[in-house]
Amino acid sequence: MSFKDSITQTTQIGYFEGAIPVNYQYTFGIAGDKFFRTIKTKGDFIASKCSECGSTKIYPLSYCEECFANIKEYISVGLTGELYSFTECHYDYQGIEHKEPRIMGLVKFEGVDGGIVHRVKAPPEGLKVGMKVKAKLKPKTKREGVVDDILHFEKA
């Protein structure tokens, strides 16, 4: 008899309440590491470029999602892109209310698939889909090779 066969009503399910401590480390992977190291050292964004089918992606990948080839080429795309969409956020990802609403936008880069979702520093009435925006990075000496090295996007 399997578990599914033996339980026919949810009232038959027993459970324990408690907490399990979980520690983890998240890695960026090969391509993600290149992306954040490039921001840290060169103040630039890179995209992956597939040598087999020509597909380009930001965030960069270590293999091609289109043809599964290994990716060995990464191209500079600069810090300026196009605001593809945006929204006003009143709560953070943990449900804690921001003191002031924040604008989050999807920024796309010319000739590259994908995009970067990040904070946009501007009042919503000053934003338009399609407008040019540029990433504002931390000063080079303060960068750590993490997403927070990107402070925000602002009108280019």
- Contact between 55 and Zn ion by CB under 5 A: the answer reads yes
Q: Do β-strands 113-114 and 56-58 pair in parallel, antiparallel, or remain unpaired?
A: parallel
- Positions 64 through 123 that interact with Zn ion (CB under 5 A): 64, 66-67, 69
Pick 64 or 120: Cβ nearer Zn ion: 64
Pick 66 or 73: Cβ nearer Zn ion: 66
Pick 73 or 88: Cβ nearer Zn ion: 73
- Contact between 53 and Zn ion by CB under 5 A: the answer reads yes
**Given the rule CB under 5 A, which of 16-24, 30-38, 59-67, 125-133 is the region that contacts Zn ion?**
59-67
- Positions 17 through 36 that interact with Zn ion (CB under 5 A): none
Among candidate residues 145, 144, 89, 95, the one with its CA nearest the CA of residue 119? 89
Using CA atoms, how far apart are residues 66 and 99, in angstroms rounded to an integer? 42
Figure out which of the listed residues 39, 46, 50, 150 binds Zn ion, where binding follows CB under 5 A.
Answer: 50
Among candidate residues 127, 55, 120, 44, the one with its CA nearest the CA of residue 89? 120
- Do the beta carbons of residue 78 and residue 87 sit within 8 Å? no
> Residue 35 burial by CB count (10 A; 0-12/13-18/19+): exposed, middle or buried?
buried
* Site for Zn ion, rule CB under 5 A: 50, 52-53, 55, 64, 66-67, 69
